[in-house]
Amino acid sequence: DIALTQFPDSLAVSLGERATINCKSGQSLFYSSNNRNYLAWYQHKPGQPPKLLIYWASTREFGVPDRFSGSGSGTDFTLTISSLQPEDVAVYYCHQYYTTPDTFGQGTRLEIK
Amino acid sequence: EVQLVESGGGLVPPGGSLRLSCAASGFTLSLYWMHWVRQVPGKGLLWVSRINSDGMTTDYADSVKGRFTISRDNAKNTVYLQMNSLRADDTAVYYCVRSRGSGFDWGQGTLVTVSS
């Protein structure tokens, strides 16, 4: 199984400031035949299902605010929220769909400082 | 609008069985692989099982292999998870998930509690 390790486990950021969450994979998620990284990011709020934010490591899902961005390739990936808003308080997960079984990072809890 | 509505969760004693259902709407179910993912309250997300679009290929996490069976009825727009020999560590919210091949769309989830 491909292990995904997120860091930090929790993060407190002031409103309007940048939040950065990292995800490291135990093996490359880059598929050279289509030049894509098989990694997604989700936002998970209590009582709601996870919400897809980013796929192919850097493609923003339709309707997701442009303050959310994804970057990275191979084994190292980053989710950045450029200007934290109150509604961004949540747990964030990375997810690899490169191979079965799909695996998730352990989650990063984002709070307001 | 894509909708995935799970049902069938509840309280069951250790060793018991449950069948979860996932009613899909807003898209053509027969075109998509479908998965189940679970989350122990307060913990992370764990992939459980998947089934291909015509139901002929299935995969399972090692922790549920031999106990859980995923199936689908595309004519009824429904995906199922038959869970047998349930254990306390199967207690979780179970999410029905549509795979786009580029990430997941999620149902609201149904809580399964295994306890005597």
* Per-residue confidence (pLDDT) for residue B114, from 0 to 100: 98
Q: B13: cis peptide before it, omega within 30°? A: no
* Per-residue confidence (pLDDT) for residue A90, from 0 to 100: 98
Question: In angstroms, rounded to a whole number, what is the distance separating the alpha carbons of residues B51 and B68?
Answer: 12
Q: Which of B35, B101, B104 sits opposite A52 (nearest CB)?
A: B104
Question: In angstroms, rounded to a whole number, what is the distance separating the alpha carbons of residues A65 and A61?
Answer: 9
Q: Give the residue from chain B lying closest to A91, CA to CA.
A: B44
Cβ(A105)–Cβ(A4) below 8 Å: yes
Cβ(B72)–Cβ(B80) below 8 Å: yes
B61 contacts on A by Cβ (under 8 Å):
101
Please give the average per-residue pLDDT across A5-11, as a whole number.
97
pLDDT band at A51 (very low <50, low <70, confident <90, very high): very high
Please give the average per-residue pLDDT across A14-23, as a whole number.
98
**Is A104 within 8 Å of B105 when comparing Cβ atoms?**
no
The pairing of strands A108-112 and A10-13 is: parallel
pLDDT band at A21 (very low <50, low <70, confident <90, very high): very high
Local structure of A69: helix, strand or coil: strand
pLDDT band at A105 (very low <50, low <70, confident <90, very high): very high
Tell me what percent of the residues of chain A surpass a pLDDT of 70: 100
pLDDT mean across residues, chain A: 97
* Per-residue confidence (pLDDT) for residue A53, from 0 to 100: 98
Question: In angstroms, rounded to a whole number, what is the distance separating the alpha carbons of residues A15 and A109?
Answer: 15
* Per-residue confidence (pLDDT) for residue A11, from 0 to 100: 96
Residues of chain B with pLDDT under 50: none
**Is A101 within 8 Å of B59 when comparing Cβ atoms?**
yes
Mutation pick from A60, A102, A106 vs chain B, by most beta carbons of B within 10 Å, is: A102
* Per-residue confidence (pLDDT) for residue A111, from 0 to 100: 97
* Per-residue confidence (pLDDT) for residue A7, from 0 to 100: 96
Tell me what percent of the residues of chain B surpass a pLDDT of 90: 97
Cβ(A68)–Cβ(A54) below 8 Å: yes
DSSP annotation of A106: -
Q: Give the residue from chain B lying closest to A40, CA to CA.
A: B103
Structure tokens at A35: 């030049």
* Per-residue confidence (pLDDT) for residue A31, from 0 to 100: 96
- Put simply, whether A68 touches B (Cβ < 8 Å) is no
pLDDT per residue as tens digits for the range A69-80 = 999 999 999 999
